[in-house]
Amino acid sequence: MALRLSQRLLQTQTPFLTRGYPLLVTKEKTEDVAHTKSALQKKVTGTDIPSAQYGGRHAVTMLPGGGIGPELMGYVREIFRYCGAPIDFEVIDIDPSTEGNDDLDYAITSIKRNGVALKGNIETKSQTLSEVSRNVAIRNELDLYVNVVHCKSYPGIPARHHDIDVVLIRQNTDGEYAMLEHESVPGIVESMKVVTVDNAERVARYAFEYARQNNRKKVTTIHKANIMKLSDGLFLEVANRVHKDYPELEHNNMIIDNTCMQSVSNPHQFDVMNMTNLYGTIVSNVLCGLMGGAGLISGRNYGDHYAVFEPGTRNTGTAIAGKNIANPVAMISASIDMLNHLGHKEHANVIQEAVYQTIVNDAIRTPDVGGTHSSTDVVQNILKILSSKRVN
């Protein structure tokens, strides 16, 4: 029945990619959207959307992606079954080698139906101009305008710096990732960087509101306005204007190249960082590398209606796929973020405590963070800890 319903939905909708790409996503306030929003989002957007619960359970779209994604998703499902998390996953595989976007259309339809997704990195192997990045297409079509990555160190993990606690707030749909490129004449390619007042204000307000509600003291806006005076200049101007509504918070700005150097030399000076799309990719990878690598930190993507959770650095990990050495912590942490978003706080807390005890207290770690254990060793220890817990 569910299959017939999904097929019927697909038949009645115009495939979004046939409208042309890039897309200009409107701020639709559809009444049939159902998912839970965080208190922060409700305060920022003023929209209270009901949760998509069926018999006390949540339906969540799962996109394993490529590389290590499928095996990490298997660990998440095993942990959820073990602790009785009230989540029913709708698993959708997107074949990276195929041309055409039927799988992508169905995945986006599923997320629109469920409101929430857990996602691995989805490869786009085709190099033809008609094939868009699936990851970017999902963020643009769902208007997931902000990406949040909380870079917080784990004690005892070998790293260049310790006690890092920085929150990256990244604009998710504008900037260089607008994917507006063309060859004006043979041998000359132009790529447009798009910055809009509306999206710059949404991400800036999210950053300042996040800082206020989480007792943070400072927001740093990252830019290159000394060179890109119109685009990055607009982004910085909007951030300065939004800051006037938050006088209790400190606000400064920093050029992106200096930010990379300062992140390596003294990351503790940063608190909350507000930045455009490409700069967010660069800085998040730098900070995660300083903390121990790509396998520890999760990322959250929010829009007005939907939320997608994934590892923070968006790496596919093809080289280590199937070798039982991939670090499962980032994907498990993304699933914990998802549980918190859906209001299942107890399940999120017990899994978080089990992960922390495993990699910090018990020192059971994969090789990427200085350990000698396998992926399954980490997961089995988490399950062992969960066996002594009780979740209501």
In the block, which residue shows the tokens 């900070």?
Answer: 287
Identify the pLDDT of residue 131. 62
Q: Which residue has the higher pLDDT, 27 or 190?
A: 190
Quick: pLDDT tens for 15-44: 333 333 333 333 333 333 344 444 454 445
Secondary structure of residue 104 in the 3-state scheme:
helix
Query: Mean per-residue pLDDT for 242-259?
Result: 97
User: What is the phi-psi region of residue 216: left when phi exceeds 0, alpha when psi lies from -120 to 50, beta otherwise?
Assistant: beta
192, β-bridge pairs: 180
Distance CA(255)–CA(258), nearest Å, equals: 5
Tokens (6 digits) for 310: 């994934």
Question: Residue 310: what are its φ and ψ, rounded to 5°?
Answer: -160, 170
Calpha distance 340→170 (Å, rounded): 20
CA torsion sign for 330, 335, 338, 344 is negative
pLDDT > 80? residue 238? yes
Of 45-59, 236-250, 355-369, the poorest mean pLDDT is in 45-59
Which one has a higher pLDDT value, 313 or 275?
275
Domains and CATH numbers, the chain: 50-152+294-391 (3.40.718.10), 174-291 (3.40.50.2300)
Question: For residue 347, what pLDDT is reported?
Answer: 94
220 pLDDT tier (thresholds 50, 70, 90): very high
pLDDT at site 44: 52
Q: Evaluate if residue 253 carries a pLDDT over 60.
A: yes
Kindly tell me if the per-residue pLDDT of 380 is higher than 60.
yes
In sequence order, what are the beta bridge partners of 53?
Answer: 58
Dihedral sign of CA atoms 79, 84, 85, 90 in order: positive
Residue 49 above 50 pLDDT?
Answer: no
With vertex at residue 376, the alpha carbon angle to CA 371 and CA 378, rounded to the nearest 5 degrees, is: 50
pLDDT at position 240: 97
- pLDDT value of residue 136: 85
Asked whether residue 314 carries a pLDDT value surpassing 60, the answer given is: yes
- pLDDT score recorded for residue 29: 37
pLDDT at 102: 80
Tell me how far apart the alpha carbons of residues 248 and 386 are, in angstroms, rounded to a whole number. Answer: 42
Task: Report the half-sphere exposure of 334 (CA within 13 A, side-chain side).
Answer: 38
- How confident is the prediction for the chain on average, in pLDDT? 84
> Which pLDDT band, with edges at 50, 70 and 90, does 64 fall under?
very high
Q: For 94-150, what is each residue's pLDDT tens digit? A: 877 666 678 888 999 999 999 999 998 887 665 666 566 788 888 989 999 999 999
pLDDT above 90: residue 71: yes
Looking at residues 355-371, what average pLDDT do you find? Answer: 93
| Residues of the chain above pLDDT 70, percent | 82
Of 99-108, 159-168, 187-196, least confident by mean pLDDT is 99-108
Q: Determine the Cα–Cα distance for residues 163 and 290; give it in Å rounded to an integer.
A: 11
pTM: 0.84
- Identify the band that residue 5 occupies on the pLDDT scale cut at 50, 70 and 90: very low
